[in-house]
Structure 1
Amino acid sequence: MTRTVTDTSAGAPAGPRGAGWALVALGALTVAVVAFTTPWRALPADAPPVAPDPARDFTAAQIARSEAFDAVTSVPGYLSLGLTLVVAGLLIATPLGARLLGRLRGPWWLRVLLGVLAVTVAVAILRWPLGMWSETYLREYGLSTQTWPSWAADRAKNIGIGAVLTGIMVLAVVALARRYRRWWIPAAVGAFALTVVTSFAYPVVVEPLFNDFTPMPAGRLRTDLLAMAARDGVPVENVLVADASRRTTALNAYVSGFGATRRIVVYDTLLRVPADQVELVVAHELGHAKAGDVLYGTLVGALGTAFGACLLYLVTSAGPVRRRTGVASVADPRAVGLIMGLLTLAGVLSGPAQNLVSRHIEARADAHALDLTRNPAVFVSMQKRLAITNISDLSPDVVEYLLYASHPTTPQRIAMARSWALLNGVPQP
């Protein structure tokens, strides 16, 4: 039985109306922040335009290999996306989730957690063969160095982390709905806070579950990187090396966390390339650190999750949704499936917008690396090496670009470097 205790939001506008106004306000704020703070132009307006052209920098064989790899990996990728949407649709538009989860017994909080676990495991089982299918192609093309046990362990850890985070969110929503009529208010505040805390803790709680991190060995490279960071005005005590080679041959580096947990990490595979190219990659990451991109992304994401909490309240309060799912209230533990379906759908639908902003932020970091190193020739060489080694998609179609491209394509990044060279009077690579 659902029971309502104290409603601390007394005096606020009626539930749906208040949530609607909050939804509009948070949506407008998020759009305004993104619109006015996203670096829509990485280079000055007077930078000479250079058209991206894969054929200028890659051989016909390299382009064909990229296209072939994209063709075979796209099939399991799209099937996985389709399966995700089908399951979300069943949970949102039918009473299937409520009927299945209604079989669970125990205290309401236990049924919520068991419901999250059941849905998570069921979806993971359905998607597992598609993951194996994709992994076989990664091995065939030489990108994966994993054994099946290590691959399964990584996948299980990812599923477990997702289940824990989802369990916290769903349990909080149901608990708040059981206590407050206007549960969207504390839910929005809690969603904002959880996003910030998770991003802050991720480098020291989650990342060590997948990789071991060690300080970069003392030597010329480490000295040069720290000197470059000092020249850039970015306080960096160390650069960490992740033992990524135990699962991939891909080259990568990244910055994560903020404040006390901020770290710049390079894959150990990256240390095998020429030192000036490593410096170029780290200069790109310094651009992220200097601009505070992780904190910025966290705060924008937190606004988005607060917006999502209000939207969740409105959607789950709608009569058609309740009738279709057979769930009268989010306070009912059987609503777990509905909540998870809506969270999944929101993640898919928001992906293109997140990628759009991410591509411009990555382009700004590229421009920062060029300004710091002033060596577009090395930049182009590094981009070519990354694309060939990682078998990047050099010409993604519109759908793939919208759904998956969090970075500009390699030809776009190379074209920007050539534009930067023309702008700064440097020989065009």
Structure 2
Amino acid sequence: MAKKYGITALLLFGVYALLMYVYIFHSNGGGIPESLKGTVADPQVFMSEQELYLSEEYSKIKNFLFFVATPFEWLVYIFVLTTGLSQAFEKWNPFRNKWGIVQNGVYLFLLSLFIFIVFFPLDYYRYSLGKSYGISTQVFASWMRDNVIGFWIDFAMTVVIVSVLYWLIKKSPKKWWLIAWLLMIPYSIFLMFIQPVVIDPLYNDFYPLTNKELETKILTLAEQANIPTEHVYEVNMAEKTNALNAYVTGIGSNSRIVLWDTTLNRLSENEILFIMAHEMGHYVEKHIYFGIAEYILTMFLGLWLTAKIMPWIVDRFGRSLKIKQINAIHSLPLFLLITSFLLFASSPLSNYISRYQETRADQYAIELVTDPSAAVSTFQELTRAGLNEVNPPFLVKWFRYSHPTMLERINKVANEIKSKE
């Protein structure tokens, strides 16, 4: 029976991958509306023929990989369960009679290492893809270092979360999800607080902005927006990418305004000020706190649904999945499969909310810096630097885009300019 389910899952994945390939590579999705051709929103106006070709090709490959990678992850979880590998990881544990967190740590290390190895070829292909299209500038040793750091950070956090989670499932089979949700709220806020000063510096070097004249202008904007900050930070991303970015991170006293050095090197002062005003717009609109509220609500619904779905699956398919009981840690791949599916299914809604917030931040930035032309040139340069498609197909936009499309952003600013003429 397990073999039958495995073959069925594999066939379904194959059909899905084929359909997504046809949709992304051979459909007529996206494109530029006739009414916008020749305008500042048309990539043919601000991109070379080579850039247009690379952008279209690169975007299609990235989009296809995105839509295939997540279902492939589900397939891996099913494989780990139906082959008995998850049970084997639990049985191979040399600390079976020791502390629960040590036992869980050994199991999670084996599972995490297996998944890391399985996904390494795909991750490496993505890395090579970025290098071949001139987006990534990172050498292999640096990329591998980031992967190893990420592995151990994820492992450490997962050991804590999973140990508490399965202890709760054993102690309170019906209410575990609610208690877990209540505990995850302060834990998540704590991680957001330490992210800028503990986790982020493990990957990159952060230091106060060296251009003090620019920093003064940015801080002046921050003062206008009533943002309490004394420094703007820059981060050395040029050794890893040619893409551009800036962001506001952290909460409370650990809040930081951060600029990539690629952004500083490639954009003009007015364009940088526009980007900073956009990030400040998120602060003024309190999007960080709305994001926390959204995360808490999503976590509540996700854990509740998982608590309902998981027992039903174990009752019906437990023998095929080789799960003896839900509170045994070898059931974890099923938990991960369900939560991954729920996150994927909810991404259109979360992306829609994010796009609305990004639109609000754009509008705030346009009003704050009063230089719409800088906004247009900024969006154009962001498109060229990242080889982004300005108007992706429908499914790509809804499942991948947390920001409005560049076509929408540039056209909105262009309309603002027209209305003021």
TM-score w.r.t. length of structure 1: 0.81
Aligned equivalents of 2:76 and 2:64: distance in 1? 18
> Secondary structure at the residue paired with 1:125?
helix
Matched, 1:63 2:63: no
Partner AA of 2:72 in structure 1 = L
Q: Distance in 2 between matches of 1:405 and 1:89?
A: 28
2:232 aligned with 1:239, yes or no? yes
Which has the higher mean CA deviation after the structures are superposed, 401-410 or 316-325? Answer: 316-325
Mark the runs of 5 or more structure 2 residues left unpaired by the alignment.
1-38
Structure 2 counterpart of 1:201:
194
Residue equivalent to 2:269: 275
Alignment-derived partner of residue 155 in structure 1: 147
Matched with 1:185 is 178
SS for the counterpart of 1:142 is coil
Q: Distance in 1 between matches of 2:149 and 2:340?
A: 19
Q: Which amino acid aligns with 2:341?
A: L
Match of 1:34 in 2: none
Q: Take 1:125 and 1:66, find their aligned partners in 2: how far apart are those partners?
A: 30
Structure 1 residue 321 displacement after superposition: 4.9
Do 2:244 and 2:386's aligned partners in 1 also have CA atoms closer than 8 Å? Answer: yes
Task: Give the residue type in structure 2 aligned to 1:217.
Answer: T
Alpha-carbon RMSD across the aligned residues, in angstroms, is 2.3
Q: Indicate the residue corresponding to 1:99 in structure 2.
A: 87
- The Cα offsets for residues 142-165 of structure 1, whole Å up to 9 and x where unpaired, read as 221211111111112222222223
8 Å CA contact 1:184–1:313 kept in 2: the answer is: yes
Q: 1:140 aligned to 2:136?
A: no
Task: Report how far residue 213 of structure 1 moved.
Answer: 0.8
Name the counterpart of 1:287.
281
Moved more, 163-172 or 128-137: 163-172
| Inter-partner Cα distance in structure 2 for 1:56 and 1:310 | 50
Cα distance in 1 between the residues matched to 2:186 and 2:83: 32
Is 1:80 the equivalent of 2:69? Answer: yes
**What is the distance in 2 between the residues matched to 1:165 and 1:95?**
27
Q: 1:313 to 1:73 in 2, by over 3 A?
A: closer
Candidates 212, 218, 229, aligned match of 1:225: 218
State the one-letter code of the partner of 2:388.
Answer: S
Residues 236 and 261, structure 2, Cα contact 8 Å, conserved in 1: yes
SS at match of 1:395: coil
Q: Which amino acid aligns with 1:361?
A: Q
Q: Structure 1 residues 98, 122: CA separation in 2 closer, same or farther (over 3 Å shift)?
A: closer
CA contact (8 A) 2:40 2:376 kept: no
Shift of 1:240: 0.6
Equivalent residue letter for 2:271:
Q
Match of residue 410, structure 1, among 398, 406, 413? 406
Deviations 1:298-321 (A, max 9, x none): 221022112222222222222225
Q: Quote the offset at 1:399 in angstroms.
A: 2.6
Contact 1:317 1:329 in 2 (8 A): no
* CA deviation map 1:60-115 (0-9, x unaligned): 443222102223444544443342131234457x4635433342331443332222
* Deviation per residue, 1:249-275 (Å, 9 max, x gap): 111101111111211100011112211
**Whole-Å separation in 1 of the counterparts to 2:192 and 2:349:** 19
Contact 1:356–1:402 under 8 Å retained in 2: yes
- Report SS of the residue matched to 1:234: coil
Structure 1: state its 5+ residue gaps: 1-49
Matched to 1:373, the amino acid is V
Whole-Å Cα distance in 1 between the matches of residues 72 and 288 of structure 2?
31
2:166 maps to 1:174: yes
Which residue of structure 1 aligns with residue 7 of structure 2? none
Q: Does structure 1 residue 363 correspond to structure 2 residue 359?
A: yes
CA distance in 1, matches of 2:162, 2:155: 10
2:122 to 126, 130, 133: 130
Whole-Å Cα distance in 1 between the matches of residues 271 and 86 of structure 2? 54
Higher relative contact order (CA 8 A, sep 6+): 1
Equivalent-residue separation in structure 1 for 2:290 and 2:239 (angstroms): 32
Structure 1 residue aligned with 2:299? 305
Sequence identity (%): 24
1:340 and 1:167 map into 2 onto residues whose CA distance is 14
Separation in structure 2 between the aligned mates of residue 371 and residue 167 of structure 1, nearest angstrom? 46
Provide the rounded CA distance (Å) in 1 between the counterparts of 2:167 and 2:145.
Answer: 32
Work out the CA distance in 1 between the residues paired with 2:221 and 2:83: 59
> Which residue in 2 is equivalent to 1:249?
242
**1:88–1:344 CA contact under 8 A, matched in 2:** no
Task: Pick the aligned partner of 1:345 from 334, 341, 344.
Answer: 341
Q: Please give the secondary structure, in 1, of the residue aligned with 2:257.
A: strand
